[in-house]
A and B are shown apart, each in its own frame.
Chain A
Amino acid sequence: MSGKTPSVRTYSLVFIALLLLAALTTGIAYVNLGRFNTVAALAIAAVKMCLVALFFMHLWYSPGLTKIVVLAGFFWLALMVSFILADVFTRSWISPPGPFR
């Protein structure tokens, strides 16, 4: 942990990978994959995010405490997204009882 950081070589490789992934995601948008276009776009974005976070932001080399903060952030984000969407998309399933209609 102590002051350990990636080498210039690692940074360069990550940068090249990020550029290739950005080109790939743009290219895929011009191919009809149906609903998998969105899946592919989000998957590539997730890979790019991991590369930036792990190497540019040194998360890979960080103490466990920092990693827990990031996981907690994602956990709270997942709670927010899933509960809001579960509410909004199920509202029409059942109508409210008589007096409230």
Chain B
Amino acid sequence: MSESAVNSGRLEATATHGVTPALHHQFEDIEQQREAGNFGMWIFLATEMLFFGAIFTAYIMYRVMYYPGFEAGSRGLEASFGATMTFVLLASSFTMAMSVHAAHAGKRRMLLGFLFATMLLGIIFLGLKFTEYTHKWHEQLVPGLNFHPAAESLRGAPEHAVELFMCFYFFMTGLHALHMIIGIGLLGVMAILAWQGKISPENYNRVEAAGLYWHFVDIIWIYLFPLLYLVGGRY
């Protein structure tokens, strides 16, 4: 097919569907396009649910098998750190929701502002995470690389059980942090698109999809926080 034929085909598609350049030719209208995009994103999130779900299942299993070690390991984590990170991440979810709201309303400056706020909160979260990791390194609680815990941090539990808990801690939070880094990258792309004026009230699907991803990562942390930091009991 020659170039001109392709172009005329495209023009025809635009003509039959009205004059919204944001609308791809395979969709009837803008609303159908938006719903299809969201549907695809939710399918992806359902697979992510199973991806994280497998690790949560393993966590439940080993927690039942080695409860004293998990309790000691959990008490060794700083609950105040975990709580602060939770507040930061919840705030980022709020600014993300506001970004989607701004994109829907077609307010470009507001969209850019909230996107940057979300990215900033995400970076603060990662900074706190990194600080916590360095604390764990100094406490010699990093399995495999540097695991020589002091007797008081074991609290009478077998050393290998605490090591297993720390494996889960690093694996779960590490995987979560990786998702955060990807999320911040996605928001960076959205900020560039918004800056170029490519996000409009008709076509803000991409911002909405990035938002769904960000909120999903937030939900994972909503579960990680009590499971890792709080189950040991602080009383």
Point out residues on A near B: beta carbons under 8 Å: 1-3, 5-6, 8, 11-12, 14-15, 18-19, 22-23, 25-26, 28-32, 37-38, 41-42, 44-45, 48-49, 52-53, 55-57, 62-63, 65-66, 69-70, 72-74, 76-77, 80-81, 84-85, 88-89
Q: What 1/0 mask marks residues of chain B from 38 to 49 whose CB sits below 8 Å from any chain A CB?
A: 110011011001
Contact between chains at B61 and A29 (CB < 8 Å): no
A18 to B215, CA, bound (A): 13
Contact between chains at B42 and A66 (CB < 8 Å): yes
Q: Which residues of B, 198-235, contact A by the 8 Å Cβ criterion?
A: 211-212, 215-216, 218-219, 222-223, 225-227, 229-231, 233-235
Tell me whether B79 is interfacial, beta carbon within 8 Å: yes
Contact between chains at A69 and B39 (CB < 8 Å): yes
A89 to B61, CA, bound (A): 8
Q: Chain A residues with Cβ under 8 A from B57's Cβ?
A: 80-81, 84-85
Contact between chains at A49 and B223 (CB < 8 Å): yes
Tell me whether B195 is interfacial, beta carbon within 8 Å: no
Tell me whether B19 is interfacial, beta carbon within 8 Å: no
Closest CB of chain A to B69's CB: distance in Å? 16
Q: Chain A residues with Cβ under 8 A from B34's Cβ?
A: 3
* Nearest neighbor of A26 in chain B, beta-carbon distance: B83
Tell me whether B104 is interfacial, beta carbon within 8 Å: yes
Contact between chains at A52 and B235 (CB < 8 Å): no
Closest CB of chain A to B179's CB: distance in Å? 15
Contact between chains at A77 and B94 (CB < 8 Å): no
Q: What 1/0 mask marks residues of chain B from 84 to 109 whose CB sits below 8 Å from any chain A CB?
A: 00110011011011101100100000
* Nearest neighbor of A72 in chain B, beta-carbon distance: B46
A76 to B83, CA, bound (A): 30
Contact between chains at B49 and A77 (CB < 8 Å): yes
Q: Chain B residues with Cβ under 8 A from A63's Cβ?
A: 35
Q: Chain A residues with Cβ under 8 A from B100's Cβ?
A: 5
Report 6 cross-chain contacts, Cβ distance below 8 Å, ordered by A residue. A2-B31, A5-B100, A5-B101, A25-B230, A30-B235, A66-B42
Partner of B215, one of A44, A53, A84: A53
Contact between chains at A32 and B39 (CB < 8 Å): no
Contact between chains at A66 and B79 (CB < 8 Å): no
Partner of A77, one of B50, B64, B211, B231: B50
Partner of A37, one of B49, B96, B216, B231: B231
A91 to B34, CA, bound (A): 48
Partner of B98, one of A8, A28, A48, A76: A8
Contact between chains at B212 and A5 (CB < 8 Å): no
Q: Chain B residues with Cβ under 8 A from A42's Cβ?
A: 226
A15 to B98, CA, bound (A): 11
Q: Chain B residues with Cβ under 8 A from A56's Cβ?
A: 93-94, 96-97, 211, 215, 218
Tell me whether B60 is interfacial, beta carbon within 8 Å: yes
Contact between chains at B50 and A73 (CB < 8 Å): yes
Assuming the contacts A2-B31, A19-B87, asked whether A32 and B235 have C-beta atoms less than 8 A apart, the reply is yes
